[in-house]
Structure 1
Amino acid sequence: MENNAPSTREALDAVHEAREINAQRLRRPRRYWIMFGGILAVFALTPYTTGWPPLVQYLAPAALIIIIGVTAAWKQPTAVRKIRLSGRMVLQLIGFAVVAGVIVGISRALYSEHGWWWLPLIAAIVLFGFVAGIGPRMDRSWARQVSRVEG
């Protein structure tokens, strides 16, 4: 009988290498999370617009979001990353959205009730840091989960 241990090891190494390459390709660029954090920060800063005319109140954040999106998308790679969300990924995404919503909601409520001018600014900074810090980790987790070899 012939022992195929070296060829088996080479095949397993090739599968592991392909898995790592796929996981890297599935990750979004860091600027994606910076863009997403910037957009959420704009929403956290909207309480400052309450004294503005209604039209400007709605157009200014939209214009700022478009500027952030265009700036972050400059020279964006054309590859489309398709990740189907599974149960664990959906829970992570829901938790991510809940944390952002709670931070913005509390900030907005305290600003309107107590007039603490600094709170929306702090909320925007916290949201930006949260998204820019946790987003890439969540993305790596998703890429590892998608590239996992099932069998």
Structure 2
Amino acid sequence: MESDAAAAREALDAVNATRELNAERLRRPSRYWIMLGLMLAVFGLLPYAADWPPLLQYSAAPALMILIAVVAAWKQPTAVRRLRLSGRMGLQLLGFAILAGVVVAVSRAVHLEQGWWWAPLVAAVLLFVFVATVGPRMDRSWARRASRNEE
């Protein structure tokens, strides 16, 4: 009886170790969250470009985004993981997008109406810090969920 319990415990420990290893492999490197944070910070800094010529104003953000993506993709690992976007994950990403939109809109309005030059800079820093800290936690949650095959 005791040997059956010990064998069952060892099997459960092996399953848990495999589950943790799978969850670790499913996580994105932190540079992806840094890249996303920098891209959102670019949107936060756009009010500073309001006085630029239109061509430069509309081409600066995409050029910075491409530069950020190229630097972040440097020596990217070849393995690609696949996570299906569930309703919970979609709501979390939607929350990210809404938060970014609200922060950028408020900072832009305050910058233009009140003349607070520092508002877009603070918004960009807040967006970057939020994404760089909450993003990896959210990713770990997604990886654990995917390794357990939960829907």
* Band of TM-score, shorter chain: over 0.9
Q: Deviations over 1:27-64 (max 9, x none)?
A: 10011111100000001101111111111111111111
Are positions 1:62 and 2:62 aligned together?
yes
Question: Percent identity, aligned pairs only?
Answer: 67
Aligned 1:111-130 pairs, distance under 5 A: 111-130=111-130
Runs of 4+ with deviation above 4 angstroms: none
- Which residue in the other structure is 2:141 paired with? 141
- Which residue in the other structure is 1:45 paired with? 45
Computed over aligned residues only, the root mean square deviation of the Cα atoms, in angstroms, reads 1.6
Query: Aligned AA for 1:19?
Result: R
TM-score, reference length from structure 2: 0.92
Aligned 1:2-41 pairs, distance under 5 A: 4-41=4-41
- Which residue in the other structure is 1:110 paired with? 110
Distance 1:48 1:91 in 2: 31
Distance 1:13 1:104 in 2: 47
Query: Aligned AA for 2:22?
Result: N
Distance 1:15 1:110 in 2: 54
Q: CA deviation at 1:138?
A: 0.5
Q: CA deviation at 1:4?
A: 2.4
Distance 2:42 2:119 in 1: 14
Q: CA deviation at 1:90?
A: 1.9
- Which residue in the other structure is 2:72 paired with? 72
- Which residue in the other structure is 2:91 paired with? 91
Of residues 20-29 and 89-98 in structure 1, the stretch that sits farther from structure 2 once superposed is 89-98
Could you say if the C-alpha distance between residues 76 and 113 of structure 1 is closer, same or farther in structure 2, counting changes exceeding 3 Å? same
Q: CA deviation at 1:2?
A: 9.4
Q: Deviations over 1:90-148 (max 9, x none)?
A: 22222121111111111111112222111000000000000001000110111111111
TM-score, reference length from structure 1: 0.92
